[in-house]
Amino acid sequence: MNIAKKLLGSLFFLVLILSGYQSAQAQDINFNDSWSFFNEEAKGAEMANFDDSNWRKLDLPHDWAIEGPFDEKYNARCGGLPFHGTGWYRKHFKTPESAKGKVVRLEFEGAMYDAHVWVNGKFVGNRPYGYIGFEFDISKELKYDGSENVIAVRLQPQDLSSRWYPGAGLYRSVWLKIDEAVHVAQWGTYITTPTVTEKIAVVQNETTVVNKSDQKASVTVKHEYFAPNGEMVASVEEPIEIEANSSKVSGLYCKINNPLRWDTETPNLYSALTTITQNGKVVDTYKTRIGLRSIAFTKDGFFLNNKKIRFNGVCLHHDNGALGSAVYRRADQRKLQIMKDMGVNAIRTSHNPPSRVFLELCDELGLVVLDEAFDVWKKAKVPNGYNVFFEEWAERDIKDMVRRDRNHPSVIMWSTGNEILEQGDKKNGWKVAKMLNDYCKEIDPTRPTTVGMNNYTAPYESNFAQQTDIAGINYKPTKYAEIRETYPELPIYASETSSCTSSRGVYHLPIEKYKTHESIHVSSYDLIGPPWAYPPDVEFHFQEQNPYIMGEFIWTGFDYLGEPTPYGGKDNSTNGYWNGDWPSHSSYFGAVDLCGFPKDRFFLYQSHWTTKPMIHLLPHWNWEGMEGDTIPVYCYTNCDEAELFVNGKSMGRKVKGKDLTELIVKFIRYEGETFQSKYRLSWNVPYEAGTIKVVGYKDGKEILTEQISTAGEPAKINLSIDRSEIDADGTDLAYVTVRIEDKDGNICPMADNLVNFSVKGAGELIAVDNGNQISLESFQANHRKAFSGMCLAILRSSKNTGEITLTAKSKKLKSSQISITTK
């Protein structure tokens, strides 16, 4: 992944530091500070002399829609939030005289969406797709005499343009890049590893060098490679000549002995420092982070460094709950760490290109990535979707995605689309599929292409599936054997699975498979879903029956804003709003809720995907008024056996894989209405208040326990924080978990107390949440009701070092306080 000359700092201190190398000729300046914002039409706001003194002042990243308010006039399918309309951003700055005669570019990592950009009143360009990065050369539009420059950006997200919450605004970082006439192009390195073994890695570097001068340039291109410990392990260089106002690719390779390979267990990262020298002077430096690894896909599976790896994968939308679409490194890091804890080793970026930061983190954490371009092509799923831009922009957008992301070791496949409506079009669908496949291969032939297909058998019969390297199968576990028999040489994997839904901490009795529930929540007994959906156990079974399947990507790892299935509407529908079950407005699909709090399903996946001993018990044990009634108790564990105790009395010891749990199952293409699951243990227990405890055994020995006690009345607030120290950089985050407990420290599973927050010190409260899919409380408030006994507060550091102290209070409860250091 390219970390192209990255530097936080003032425009007046233009020094780039890369691994100990300094160059005064090339600078990247983070341009996130001090923007002015206005969330309406503003006639003339593109002009330099426009008066924006009364506009709101803010720093990026910024998502205006997440500020709300929730309202039934907005589409619940897209989170019930005001993401559409017009938003203006303006920034005033001065360019030093020393930048005159150089190449100055303005880079946006993403802008949601239909961005139009002006510099000093002059239009410099437009980019419709909100998920792709872009830059403009603004050298000729700037003033270099010490007077003020103005950037103006207009964004106009459209209603009915997305099937989920897209966010709005300058939600990713902006950069000002100052270079000499000769410099490395945007995303200008392409580093591959044709050979990687235990003993040697061949590293091939194709670097595009731009010459924007009117004279031929003779330069030397040098690459130095640094091991994860910072030691230089290889160096290679060559002289090249570049014609005036053109570019040239320098192709060099070198060998690295005894490479530390990148994989999911040890994600070793090397760096390549590219130096461009002209007339003995360094004119540009460019740093690229890489991983030395090999990938291969066959009909028998996926191989990373010649080792077969199964995808324990999740699909993830790009929002981060209460933060909306704004990209904070810590938010994505926490999200991915939670997924790793579940046993995840693979991510599908559904259904759009992810942020640069997201892929950096996947590189660091050892997560392989299916990098996806589009949700639609020409045929619309919603009236104003990407189909509006496809004809004009698809080629550039997908090529830019591949060009930007092709150095990431984590990226292993390019997905050109998701559940594309053209998949059954025998006349034209295959032609578009081939076109997009060819665009990807033109930029990067080292990785395969894929498409997530949900309409089996249509894409095979229409020649659509044959235009991509690897078939992605959505929600067809019962058809794996048939597909293999019909297409025996075709590599396949499950690109979307399960679509089970639930609300954290909510249990409906008796257990039954319903379409919707009067509570507008979904039971956490992990079996409810829409007509195409099924419990995770079913996928586990068919994956085991068909071991050549490369693995699965569940829908989804986290809850996300919008698409409140099974409430509100029908997927892939262009019939407009999904507000029939308002206030339901966010996803129930996640194994983790919007807050990042695991649901029970998280532990079902963990029990199947991890080997470190774990055990989980459900439901809660507060069933007042149901004394003597039968309560189904489930245990998710990777132990050999488990024994349940109720108030010290054994309810029996059960063997994993032998003692089965009958699940009510009914979904498309499945015969029957039940499934005998070997993946969860269960007991039917007459309810009596007290304690239930489960004991896990390995090789006949007790190794761990978990217990749940009947909670008394809410008595106190318990706060816990995810880290003890964060960076004082104005963007780092701390997540505070809030639990409502009884006097003995038991969580109160029904508690919905209103908690009020106050913050002092070197930071601020930027968001609150509780994971409740029907809550209309503001994410921006200083208070939040608990949901199933819990809620969340998110703190953001200032640029001052010190301490942040959060105080949480609620009527009739003992308050709590917690602090974190910023450095």
List, for residues 415-432, the tens digit of each pLDDT value: 999 999 999 999 999 999
Instruction: Read off the pTM.
Output: 0.95
Same-domain status, 44 and 160: yes
Residue 418: the pLDDT is 97
645's tokens:
């105790």
For a pLDDT cut of 70, what percent of the chain falls above it? 96
pLDDT one-digit tens code per residue, 247-291: 999 999 999 999 999 999 999 999 999 999 999 999 999 999 999
Q: Is the dihedral of CA 630, 636, 640, 646 positive or negative?
A: negative
pLDDT at res. 570: 79
Comparing 269 with 97, the larger pLDDT belongs to 269
Q: What would the pLDDT profile of 459-506 be if each residue is shown by its tens digit?
A: 999 999 999 999 899 999 999 999 999 999 999 999 999 999 999 999
What is the reported pLDDT for 12?
A: 26
Query: What is the rounded distance in angstroms from the CA atom of residue 199 to the CA atom of residue 248?
Result: 33
Q: Positive or negative CA dihedral for 297, 299, 302, 307?
A: negative
Record the tokens describing residue 563, joined without a space: 């698409």
State whether residue 456 is helix, strand or coil.
coil
> Residue 709's CB: how many other CB atoms inside 10 A?
18
- Angle, vertex CA 40, rays to CA 34 and CA 46, nearest 5: 60
Q: Domain check: are 389 and 538 in the same one?
A: yes
Q: Are residues 188 and 175 both part of a single domain?
A: no
Residues 649 and 634: their CA atoms lie apart, in Å, by 17
Active-site residue among 109, 141, 422, 496?
A: 496
Beta carbons of 709 and 746 less than 8 angstroms apart: yes
In a domain, 18, yes or no: no
CA dist 26 and 413 (Å) reads: 33
DSSP string, 255-282: EEES---B-SSSB--EEEEEEEEETTEE
Q: pLDDT value at position 573?
A: 64
For 40-102, list the strands marked E by DSSP.
56-58, 87-94
Instruction: Decide if pLDDT at 122 tops 50.
Output: yes
Mark whether 167 and 75 lie in a shared domain.
Answer: yes
**Sheet of strand 115-119, all strands in order from the earlier edge strand to the far edge:** 56-58, 35-38, 87-94, 148-155, 115-119, 122-127
Phi, psi of 806 (to 5 degrees): -110, 130
226 and 311 housed in the same domain = no
Contact 452, 496 (CB under 8 A): yes
Task: Out of 396-400, 572-576, 682-686, 745-749, pick the least confident.
Answer: 572-576
Give the SS3 label for residue 165: coil
With cut-offs at 50, 70 and 90, classify the pLDDT of residue 96.
Answer: confident
Residue 73 maps to a domain: yes
Task: Give the pLDDT confidence score for residue 4 in this predicted structure.
Answer: 38
Averaged pLDDT of the chain: 95
442 is catalytic: no
- Examine the domain organization and report whether 170 and 199 are in the same domain: no
Q: 504: closest CA among 597, 615, 585?
A: 597
Residue 50 lies inside a defined structural domain of this protein: yes
Give the count of beta carbons closer than 10 Å to the beta carbon of residue 33.
16
180, 419, 422, 539: the catalytic one is: 419
> What is the Cα–Cα distance from 545 to 121, expressed in whole angstroms?
63
Domain-located, residue 487? yes
> 538 with 652, same domain?
no
The more confident residue out of 19 and 212 is 212
How many residues are there in the chain? Answer: 823
d(C-alpha 588, C-alpha 572), whole Å: 17
> Residue 331: inside a domain, yes or no?
no
17 within a domain of the structure (yes/no): no
Residue ending a domain, among 654, 689, 709, is: 709
Whole-number pLDDT of residue 574:
60
> Which pLDDT band holds residue 522 (cuts at 50, 70, 90)?
very high
Running DSSP on this structure, what letter comes out for residue 243?
Answer: -
State the sign of the Cα–Cα–Cα–Cα dihedral 602, 603, 604, 608. Answer: positive
Please choose, from the candidates 364, 372, 365, the residue with its C-alpha nearest in 3D space to the C-alpha of residue 316: 372
Q: Which of 139, 161, 179 is the last residue of a domain?
A: 179
State the pLDDT confidence band at 348, using cuts at 50, 70 and 90: very high
Indicate whether 467 belongs to any domain: yes
Looking at 689, 709, 729, the residue that finishes a domain is 709
- Asked whether residue 603 carries a pLDDT value surpassing 50, the answer given is yes
**Are the beta carbons of 184 and 209 closer than 8 angstroms?**
yes
Assess whether 91 and 135 both reside in one domain.
yes
Mean pLDDT of 284-300: 97
pLDDT mean over 646-663: 97
Nearest partner of 621 among 609, 631, 606, judged by Cα: 631
Judged by DSSP in three states, 178 sits in strand
Task: Report, as an integer, the average pLDDT of 769-778.
Answer: 98
**What is the CATH classification number for the domain harbouring 38?**
2.60.120.260
Residue 5 predicted with pLDDT over 90:
no
CATH number at residue 435: 3.20.20.80
Residue 27 confidence (pLDDT): 85
743 phi-psi bin (left φ>0, alpha ψ -120 to 50, beta other): alpha
Clarify whether 395 is annotated catalytic: no
**Residue-level pLDDT at 791:** 98
Residue 625, classified by CB atoms within 10 Å of its CB into exposed (0-12), middle (13-18) or buried (19+), is exposed
pLDDT of residue 18: 25
Angstrom distances, CA of residue 685 to CA of 439, 617, 645, 651, 741: 59, 13, 10, 8, 25
Find the domain containing 259 and state its range.
183-290
Q: What is the mean pLDDT of residues 110-117?
A: 97
Does a structural domain hold residue 506? no
| Cβ–Cβ under 8 Å, residues 442 and 395 | no
Quick one: 116 and 242 in the same domain?
Answer: no
Q: Looking at the 3D structure of the chain, how many domains does it have?
A: 5
Residues 421, 552: one domain? yes
For 583-592, the pLDDT digits (tens) are: 999 999 999 9
Q: In which order are the strands placed within the sheet that holds 307-309?
A: 295-298, 301-304, 307-309
Q: What is the CA radius of gyration of the chain?
A: 27
Which pLDDT does position 26 carry in this prediction?
A: 67
Same domain for 623 and 547, yes or no, is no
Place 674 in a pLDDT band, splitting at 50, 70 and 90.
very high
Q: What is the CATH number of the domain that holds 729?
A: 2.60.40.10
Is the same domain home to 240 and 377? Answer: no
